[in-house]
Every structure is written in structure tokens, then in C-alpha cells.
């Protein structure tokens, strides 16, 4: 222990390593994941309170974590606001408001102090950035330096006590209601159109003479497809703007089996055989590593790609049909169809370089985070003379959402390659949890022998069940949201990947992820504000 006291870097690495190992252990199908790092940090600092990490460690980790989340979620977040996202975010905001009002009632009833109560609230909501915002706000509310050292530990201790029930309570709620309501997850996925289906390519002989331009067939027939090539009088062409077809022409179409069946019913006769083995054209999967090809819709890139057609985009583990509105990101893999003489040009155009993808341009990342930190410092006046700040969590998140949606500004590409984003995010949250865990120290040791500990755990349980049950009952039974998606919304409101992982394992479809990403950014920001409001009102 003395070795860890004397060497802060060693202490950080040991806490992170042990925490990640423990986080992989599964008990009854559940694991703590990266959250275990927090408890290891608390454990070490409880055993030896002098094991402390500099505050800058968890501040950097937190900012990096929320910023990378915002970059990835930005495009989908703003897009969802134009469809069902508004309803889902209103549901989520209502659930958080109800939990906040409940906290304001039960914290005084249980005799819990304001700092501990705010920490209990963030633990029940399993939201580490909100807890960090509470810790960050305390110095501005406590003028006595001697008392400040004691008070600043209280939210972290209460957070760590309420945190486990914040995870387990949601899982129990989802499991029980799923059984009671006899949810058929496969049927929900089919009805919502998100049942797992792979993309295929099939040929269709045209039998109509009134079809729109080939590049507009997708919109004209309301189909999720792309025409990858046209065969006319035995000659093969890549579709270009203005091209039309006539009866007898053969179209090669990329889409799911269901969409291709619908396309055949609208266009003509479905022909046997797999056209992807046609030797008259070249087909290649290419990594997107050239920054000039990202952040711009494919429709605006067509002039740079004569004789080259992108038919599919694979991002992470998900395949998508390429559309004119598709915006590529660094690290995407594109399926390209081209003539033999242009396939090498396509490779050069998109880059196809692992090395370049690994050589991340840190300047936009650091500049964006710096802007986020500055935004987080802006005071937001509220009624009653209260001033709130988004802080080192909310500021970078808001900026990252905006920059992630923009994709690029001139020559500056804000997006980070998919793999690098995940790695930076994991590293950031691990840094934060290790750093914040060691701030509890002796305070957590004292809490374990204090009867008030049970009050914090019980209060946290009430808040967790209020939020999860309200969201599931109102969302699924009243608003008609698929149960899997409603459960994903709860996971997003809790901003906890372990809950999303559990729900996804139960549903085995994309509905939970859809709900999670839709409300996650809103939830992060609203809970940061709500936690500080609880602190200001009750401290």
C-alpha cells in the first residue's frame, strides 16, 4: 500500500487493471463491466486513505468519455428529433423530472444531507458525469475550507452506495415486466422492421415502361434499395443520374431479401443467380481512410467518382445500403462496384489504409474538447439567483453532439474513426472511475459502519424504481413503444452500458440500441442539471 501511496501513476494503473479484470466476471449473467474500476478505487482508498490521484486525472477522463460519446451520437440524435425522438425524449425528461421531485421529497424525510442526497440521486441514476458535476459545484457553495474537505467526499460515497441498485433495479424491472407482459421480442423486431437481415444482391428483369430515373427508384417506389448496375442489350453499366430503363433491361439491386421481393413486385421478374460474381465488373471492400471523402453526402461525392458506385457501407458490425444522403466516416468499409480500369482508382480515392486510420489527427479532437470545456464554464442563470454550469461533462457533450452532426467544417474533420472512438471512450471512463473512486477514502470507510448507509441504499432504490417503472409502463403500455425500445430508453436514461448489454441480450435485436442512443444525450445533460438543482436546493 505504501508503494501505491508514493507512486500515483502505479496506483492509477493497478486500480484500472484490477477493476477491468473484476468487471469481466459474470455472476448470474451479470457483470459490472468498467464500473468495477470505481469500486476498486474506493476499496484501495478505504484501506489506505492516503492513496489519492490528482483531480486532473478524472476531469480529463470524464471530458474524453462524454466527448467521444457525443461525436458518435450526434448525427443520430438530431435525426431522431425529426421523427419519434421528440416523443421519446419527452418521455425520458418526464421520468427524470419525476425522479428529481421524488428525491427532493424523500431526501429530507430520510434525514440525508444535501451533499449525500445529491450523490445518492446520481448513484440511483448511475450517472457519473452528474456526480462529477455535483462534486465540481460544492466548492462554490461551501466557504469553510475545513468543512469543504469533508463535504466533497459525501456525494462520491453516497453515489457508490446507491450505484449498484441503480443498475440492478432497472434489470429487475425489465425482467419482471417482460415476463408479466409476455413480450415476444422477435415479433416486436419484425413489426418494427429491425429484425436482423443481411444485405444481398439480386437481378430483376424490368417489365414496366413507366419507371422513374434509376437513381430515383428508391424514393419513387419507397424501397430501401440501391441499383448497383444496369444490363441493357447484353452490356453492363453503372447507373448514373439521368439513366432510365425499359422493358427487358436487367437491374442488379442491393437490399434485404424482403425489400428485394417488394422491388420485384414493383419492377418485374426476379431472376435466379448471384450477380456479384459477374466478371464484367470489379467488386471490392475498401476502408475509408481519406479525410476528403468523409463528412460529405455521397450525392456530392459522385462527381469525384466517375465509373465508381458505392453500394454498401459497413460501420462497426452493421451493414447499410448506401444512399445519396449517406455520409461516410473514417473507418467505414464501403462496398464498391466499378469497371476493371477504375477499381484501383477507387482504392486510392477512399484510402484503404490501416496505418492512416491508426494515425489519428488529435488536433480536431483536442480543439473540440477545448471548446467544450469553455462552453461548460458559461454560467446559466436560473430563477432564485442560482447559477448553473454544464461543467467539464455537459460542455464537451453539447459541443461534441453539434460537431458530430456537422461531421466536418471546411477541411477539419471532427469525427474520430469508429475503433479509435471506442478505445478513447473506454480509456476515458476508466480514468474517470479510477480517479473519482480514490476521492472517497476514509469517508466511505466511515459510511460502512453508519446506519445512515441503509437509508441511502433504500432511497436510491426508490428513485431507480420510480424512473424505470414509469418509463416502461408509460412508454410501452400508454405510448405503444415496443418493449425492447422502451427498455433501451431506460438504459439510456440511466446512461449505463451494462443495462443496455443486458436488455440487448434479452431482445437480440436493435430496438434497445435505438432507444438508448435517442435519449442518451438528453439524459446526460438533464441529469447533470437535475443533480446540481438537488444539491443547491437541499445543501
3-state secondary structure labels for all residues of 268-314: EEEECCCHHHCCCCEEEEEEECCHHHCCCEHHHHHHHCCCEEEEEEE
Question: Buried (b) or exposed (e) across 47-70, using 16+ Cβ within 10 A?
Answer: ebbebbbeeebbbbbbbbbbbbbb
Q: Where are the alpha helices (DSSP H) in 81-126?
A: 85-110, 114-124
Question: 443 pLDDT exceeds 70?
Answer: no
What is the pTM (predicted TM-score) of this model? Answer: 0.72
What's the confidence (pLDDT) of residue 88? Answer: 94
Q: Which residue has the cell 479509435?
A: 420
What's the confidence (pLDDT) of residue 429? Answer: 82
Considering Cα of 80, then 86, then 92, then 96, what sign does the dihedral take?
positive
Segment (H or E) for 438: none
Question: 334 pLDDT exceeds 70?
Answer: yes
Which of 211, 265, 283 is CA-nearest to residue 243?
211
Report residue 32: phi and psi, to 5°: -75, -25
Q: Give per-residue pLDDT as tens, 88-145.
A: 999 999 999 999 999 999 999 999 999 999 999 999 998 877 887 888 788 878 877 7
Q: Which three cell numbers stand for residue 510?
A: 436493435
Report residue 223: phi and psi, to 5°: -125, 145
Neighbours of 195 (CB within 10 A): 18
Q: Which three cell numbers stand for residue 425?
A: 471512450
Q: Which three cell numbers stand for residue 525?
A: 445533460
pLDDT bin (cut points 50, 70, 90) of residue 479 is very high
- Tally the C-alpha atoms within 13 A of residue 89's C-alpha that lie toward its C-beta: 21
Contact 465, 168 (CB under 8 A): no
Domain limits, the chain: 2-189+377-538
- Tally the C-alpha atoms within 13 A of residue 177's C-alpha that lie toward its C-beta: 24
Q: Which three cell numbers stand for residue 497?
A: 452500458
What's the confidence (pLDDT) of residue 79? Answer: 77
pLDDT bin (cut points 50, 70, 90) of residue 531 is very high
Average pLDDT, the chain: 84
Average the pLDDT over 166-172 and give the result.
84
3-state secondary structure of 56: helix
Q: Which residue has the higher pLDDT, 197 or 298?
A: 298
Question: 5 pLDDT exceeds 60?
Answer: yes
The CATH number given to 2-189+377-538 is 1.20.1530
Neighbours of 224 (CB within 10 A): 18
pLDDT bin (cut points 50, 70, 90) of residue 272 is confident
- DSSP class of residue 224? S
What's the N-to-C CA distance of the chain in angstroms? 35
Question: 171 pLDDT exceeds 90?
Answer: no
Which of 172, 115, 163, 173 is CA-nearest to residue 460?
163
Amino acid at each position: 500500500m505504501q508503494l501505491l501511496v508514493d507512486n500515483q501513476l502505479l496506483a492509477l494503473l493497478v486500480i484500472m487493471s484490477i477493476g477491468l479484470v473484476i468487471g469481466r466476471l459474470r455472476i448470474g449473467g451479470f457483470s459490472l463491466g468498467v464500473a468495477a474500476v470505481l469500486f476498486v478505487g474506493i476499496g484501495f482508498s478505504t484501506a489506505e486513505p492516503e492513496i489519492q490521484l490528482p483531480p486532473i486525472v478524472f476531469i480529463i477522463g470524464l471530458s474524453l468519455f462524454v466527448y467521444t460519446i457525443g461525436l458518435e451520437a450526434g448525427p443520430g440524435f438530431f435525426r431522431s428529433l425529426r421523427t419519434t425522438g421528440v416523443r421519446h425524449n419527452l418521455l425520458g425528461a418526464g421520468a427524470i423530472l419525476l425522479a428529481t421531485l421524488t428525491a427532493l421529497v424523500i431526501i429530507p424525510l430520510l434525514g440525508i444531507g444535501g451533499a449525500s442526497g445529491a450523490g445518492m440521486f446520481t448513484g440511483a441514476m448511475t450517472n457519473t458525469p452528474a456526480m462529477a458535476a455535483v462534486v465540481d459545484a460544492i466548492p462554490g457553495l461551501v466557504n469553510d475550507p475545513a468543512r469543504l474537505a469533508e463535504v466533497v467526499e459525501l456525494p462520491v460515497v453516497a453515489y457508490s452506495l446507491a450505484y449498484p441498485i441503480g443498475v440492478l433495479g432497472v434489470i429487475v424491472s425489465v425482467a419482471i415486466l417482460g415476463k408479466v407482459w409476455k413480450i415476444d421480442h422477435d415479433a416486436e423486431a419484425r413489426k418494427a422492421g429491425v429484425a436482423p437481415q443481411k444485405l444481398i444482391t439480386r437481378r430483376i428483369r424490368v417489365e414496366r415502361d413507366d419507371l422513374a430515373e434509376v437513381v430515383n427508384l428508391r424514393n419513387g417506389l419507397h424501397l430501401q434499395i440501391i441499383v448497383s448496375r444496369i444490363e441493357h442489350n447484353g452490356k453492363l453499366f453503372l447507373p448514373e443520374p439521368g439513366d432510365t430503363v425499359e422493358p427487358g433491361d436487367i437491374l442488379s439491386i442491393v437490399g434485404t431479401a424482403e425489400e428485394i421481393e417488394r422491388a420485384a413486385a414493383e419492377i418485374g421478374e426476379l431472376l435466379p443467380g448471384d450477380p456479384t460474381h459477374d466478371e464484367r465488373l470489379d467488386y471490392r471492400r475498401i476502408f475509408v481512410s481519406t479525410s476528403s471523402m468523409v463528412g460529405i453526402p455521397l450525392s456530392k461525392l459522385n462527381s469525384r467518382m466517375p465509373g465508381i458506385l458505392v453500394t454498401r457501407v459497413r460501420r462497426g458490425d452493421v451493414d447499410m445500403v448506401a444512399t445519396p444522403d449517406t455520409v461516410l466516416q473514417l473507418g467505414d468499409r464501403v462496398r464498391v462496384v466499378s469497371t476493371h480500369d477504375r477499381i484501383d482508382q477507387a482504392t486510392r480515392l477512399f484510402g484503404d489504409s490501416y496505418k492512416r486510420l491508426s494515425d489519428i489527427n488529435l488536433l480536431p479532437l483536442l480543439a473540440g474538447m477545448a471548446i467544450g470545456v469553455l462552453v461548460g464554464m458559461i454560467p446559466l442563470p436560473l430563477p432564485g439567483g442560482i447559477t448553473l454550469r454544464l461543467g467539464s461533462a455537459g460542455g464537451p457533450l453539447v459541443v461534441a453532439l453539434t460537431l458530430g452532426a456537422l461531421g466536418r467544417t471546411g477541411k477539419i474533420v471532427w469525427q474520430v474513426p469508429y475503433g479509435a472512438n471506442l478505445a478513447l471512450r473506454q480509456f476515458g471512463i476508466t480514468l474517470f472511475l479510477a480517479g473519482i473512486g480514490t476521492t472517497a477514502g476514509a469517508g466511505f470507510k466511515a459510511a460502512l459502519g453508519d446506519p445512515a448507509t441503509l437509508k441511502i441504499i433504500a432511497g436510491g432504490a426508490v428513485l431507480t424504481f420510480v424512473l424505470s417503472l414509469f418509463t416502461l409502463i408509460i412508454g410501452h403500455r400508454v405510448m405503444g413503444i415496443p418493449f425492447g425500445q422502451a427498455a433501451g430508453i431506460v438504459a439510456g436514461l440511466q446512461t449505463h452500458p451494462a443495462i443496455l448489454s443486458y436488455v440487448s441480450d434479452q431482445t437480440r435485436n436493435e430496438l434497445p440500441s435505438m432507444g438508448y442512443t435517442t435519449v442518451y444525450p438528453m439524459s446526460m445533460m438533464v441529469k447533470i442539471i437535475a443533480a446540481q438543482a438537488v444539491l443547491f436546493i437541499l445543501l
